Structure 1
Amino acid sequence: MNDKILKAADIAVICGVPEKEVKKISKDFSALVPSRELGRVKLYEEKAAGIIKEISDLSKTGFSREDILKSLGSKPSSKSTKEKVSGKIRKNPSLKKTGETTAQKNMSGKDEKQPAGRKSPASLTGNKKEKSESDIYGALDYKISKLSGKIEKIENEIAENHKKTEKDIEDLRCTISQLSEKLSVTSEWTDYFEKTLDEYRQSQDALRKDLSEWTEYTQTELEYLRLPVWKRKNKRTEK
């Protein structure tokens, strides 16, 4: 079963170490940290998290790079098979010559069975399958990371639009409130003018009535004054 593929950000969360420090440790101790690059993205094996955490702790206690390499080099659990073999060869150079001789013999033996430069179908299929699965996981992880970034950007835009909409709604409420106040004042003024007009109409009706009565009285008096003196006397007698 393949190890889980991790990115620098994932290791930073697991180990509680800044992502920048994770990348620096990976660069300075590339021989100890199992990783590979997929385009511009650097991917790590799951065990790399424990190695980086241990290197970070040793660095904080004052260990130098050589001390850390020496310290971790003595721990078989933190080294791959390739690193173990490389360490043995460094300690005993004669192993390198022995290995080269064995490799040459194996190669000469293979030449008799199959053409040079050609690997067996089983090894090609296994390596291709392992590489293909790792590349698929890495590519999927990279795509998920990009999609997460896009989703986060869309969510931020939605939040900003929501805030803007809320502000517009609040502005509309204030405008409606102001218009309502103005309408209320206008309504009060309208009622006042209607009342004033009613009072004016009543006063005009009363004045018209008084004028009519005075006009009638004046006409009666004028007719009386136009009569001769003897007729006026008779009218007075009749009254």
Structure 2
Amino acid sequence: MKRAGAEDGSMHEKELKIGDIAHLTGLSEQDVRALIQTYDSLFTYRTIGRARLFPQKAVKIVRELAELSGRGLSPDEIAEEVKSGRKSAAPEEPAEEFDRDAAPLPPEVVIELQVMRDTLARQERRIVRLVEELEREREMGVEEADRLRKAVDDLEERLSVQQEQLALVAEWVDYFDRQMDEVTRPVLERFRRTVAKKSDSGQSPGRSG
């Protein structure tokens, strides 16, 4: 029943194959297939066997897509432009009249523009990755600098503590030296006096003789 209805509709409007659309727009069949595949939601068609049959308005849509592709728009922006244009456009004219009035872009231009957009998209993704890597390296550099700064601060603090300890030890050494001098000086004096007395007593008999 659905196919019969479609056949009834085809009596009022000639349906077109992809080759017909390519001939009417001046594009290659490969370019037309690529546009239909990319913007499939914009097209209505029915299938007979392996062939797809499109209404004549598909010619206008393909022309609009080819023209908008040359403006550097993204696929989403192009689809939105075509949808809004279809809503506000006047009733469509037969495909033959569009063929006389329109000036489609050469197929090679459409393909080159698509390649350029894909290349730019890849470059943008690469730039984003590089920026992320640089940001990670910068964060790692900051963390490494903080770690080194903390290590230097720790070493300086340890050095300061050791210097204080050395100063304290030096004070104790001086103190003990003074104490030893005070203790050993009387002993040495007594020892000298004792030695002197013995020396004097040993020399006295010789003098008397």
Structure-1-length-normalised TM-score: 0.47
Aligned to 1:134: 110
1:195-236: CA deviation from partner (whole Å, max 9, x where unpaired): 2112222322333322221112333555678899xx9xxxxx
**Gap regions ≥5 residues in structure 1:** 1-25, 56-68, 89-125, 232-239
Pair 141,204 (structure 1): closer, same or farther in 2 beyond 3 Å:
same
1:35 lines up with 2:65 in the alignment: yes
1:148 lines up with 2:124 in the alignment: yes
**Gap regions ≥5 residues in structure 2:** 1-38, 44-57, 98-102
Pair 85,45 (structure 1): closer, same or farther in 2 beyond 3 Å:
farther
Q: Kindly report which structure 2 residues correspond to 1:186-225, keeping only aligned pairs within 5 A, or say none.
A: 186-220=162-196
What is the alpha-carbon root mean square deviation over aligned residues? 4.1
| Greater relative CO (CA pairs within 8 A, separation 6+) | 2
Candidates 153, 156, 164, aligned match of 1:180? 156
1:73-122: CA deviation from partner (whole Å, max 9, x where unpaired): x832xx7xxx5315x9xxxxxxxxxxxxxxxxxxxxxxxxxxxxxxxxxx
Structure-2-length-normalised TM-score: 0.52
CA distance in 1, matches of 2:151, 2:201: 74
Q: What amino acid does structure 1 have at the position aligned with 2:155?
A: L
The sequence identity of aligned pairs, in percent, is 14
Aligned to 1:50: 81
Q: Kindly report which structure 2 residues correspond to 1:48-197, keeping only aligned pairs within 5 A, or say none.
A: 48-52=79-83, 54=84, 72=87, 75-76=89-90, 84-85=93-94, 130-197=106-173
